[in-house]
């Protein structure tokens, strides 16, 4: 959450701000500092998750050995996904949505391609070990992340902003420290918001079985089935609409920041109104449409359910 929601949004805002006031060197240095910081955070998180994998795999009074290999496979993408988010934040801050969007397509195509190939080889052409198949499906996130990182680095190399590095003056050095502190401060609301959503889902995950078993006396099979309907399948469908709102917000933030930095409040007001109009124009029909077409939409992505 810190790497994908907090830092990139704040970084795009800060880069747009410093570029607007002519502090290109400061924004370049802020990008490099953020990149190293997030690489360190990614490696630290991966190491911690690798070490506490047996604790995370503790279920029903014992360690589930099968889960450890899955958690270890998940550690690899943690090492580079934060760096990818920083690169996307850089392009977004300079109003270049193309590299960021294409990198996400590259990441998903590579991830799904590796996942399908690996699971086919394991389940059909090999011994059919489903634990190994799930581990490789999880590791596919790392493969996709590597492909996205390569694409972003190639796109970054073409940017004129990074063709030459000049020595930073003393004023820029001081501002560099302040900029990094401001980056962390501004990322805090993004992290809190997205963390609240994840914690809410965790609460559902642990409280739903308890409530259904103790109050409604449902069986474990029925509880798992019902939770899958409302806690997993439906969330995947609503994310289609939510991703549209996220994309619009990511695009609007650097544009608003640039107008604010130039003290052009008339243009800032127009951009806010235009962003809200676009948001409601897309989100209200999308949300109402999903409500009206809930059953057929569910059947398109999943099989029909009977309960």
For residues 149-177, one letter each, b for 16 or more C-beta atoms within 10 angstroms of the residue's C-beta and e for the rest, the string is bebbeebeeeeeeeeeeeeeeeebeebbe
pLDDT of residue 136: 92
Residue 163's alpha-carbon distances to 28, 156, 160, in angstroms, are 11, 10, 5
Tell me the average confidence (pLDDT) per consecutive run of 10 residues in the chain, 307 residues long. Answer: 74 82 80 88 92 84 86 92 88 82 89 92 86 92 94 83 46 62 78 78 84 87 82 79 76 81 87 90 90 86 64
pLDDT of residue 156: 87
Q: Which residues are within 8 A (CB) of 184 and not within 5 positions of it... i.e. 6 or more apart?
A: 10
Domain segments of the chain: what residues? 2-187, 218-307
Q: Which of 71, 30, 283 is nearest to 176 (CA)?
A: 30
Helices then strands, counting H and E runs in the chain, come out as 12, 2
pLDDT of residue 73: 93
pLDDT of residue 27: 81
Integer Cα distance of 228 and 222 in angstroms: 10
Residue 267's alpha-carbon distances to 186, 255, 263, in angstroms, are 23, 10, 9
Integer Cα distance of 47 and 67 in angstroms: 17
Integer Cα distance of 42 and 36 in angstroms: 10
pLDDT of residue 168: 44
Task: Let me know: does 1 contact 195? Beta carbons within 8 Å.
Answer: yes
pLDDT of residue 306: 55
Residue 140's alpha-carbon distances to 107, 114, 145, 243, in angstroms, are 10, 6, 9, 21
For residues 125-134, one letter each, b for 16 or more C-beta atoms within 10 angstroms of the residue's C-beta and e for the rest, the string is eeeeeeebbb
pLDDT of residue 304: 62
pTM of the model: 0.73
């Amino acid at each position: 959450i810190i790497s994908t929601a907090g830092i990139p949004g704040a970084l795009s805002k800060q880069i747009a701000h410093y570029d607007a006031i002519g502090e290109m060197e400061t924004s370049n240095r802020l990008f490099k500092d953020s990149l190293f910081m997030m690489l360190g955070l990614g490696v630290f998180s991966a190491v911690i998750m690798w070490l506490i994998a047996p604790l995370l795999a503790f279920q029903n009074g014992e360690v589930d050995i099968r889960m450890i290999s899955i958690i270890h496979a998940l550690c690899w993408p943690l090492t580079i996904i934060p760096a990818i988010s920083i690169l996307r934040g850089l392009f977004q801050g300079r109003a270049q949505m193309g590299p960021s969007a294409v990198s996400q397509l590259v990441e998903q195509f590579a991830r799904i391609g590796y996942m399908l190939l690996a699971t086919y080889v394991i389940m059909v052409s090999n011994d059919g070990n489903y634990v190994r198949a799930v581990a490789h499906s999880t590791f596919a996130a790392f493969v996709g992340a590597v492909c996205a990182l390569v694409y972003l680095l190639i796109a970054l190399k073409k940017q004129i902003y990074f063709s030459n590095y000049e020595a930073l003056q003393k004023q820029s050095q001081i501002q560099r420290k302040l900029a990094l502190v401001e980056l962390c401060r501004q990322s805090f609301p993004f992290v809190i918001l997205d963390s609240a959503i994840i914690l809410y889902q965790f609460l559902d995950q642990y409280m739903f079985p308890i409530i259904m078993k103790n109050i409604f006396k449902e069986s474990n099979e029925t509880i798992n089935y019902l939770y899958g309907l409302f806690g997993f399948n439906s969330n995947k469908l609503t994310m289609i609409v939510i991703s549209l709102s996220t994309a619009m917000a990511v695009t609007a933030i650097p544009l608003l920041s640039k107008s604010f930095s130039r003290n052009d409040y008339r243009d800032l007001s127009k951009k806010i109104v235009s962003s809200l109009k676009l948001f409601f124009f897309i989100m209200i029909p999308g949300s109402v449409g999903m409500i009206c077409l809930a059953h057929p939409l569910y059947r398109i992505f999943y099989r029909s359910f009977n309960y």
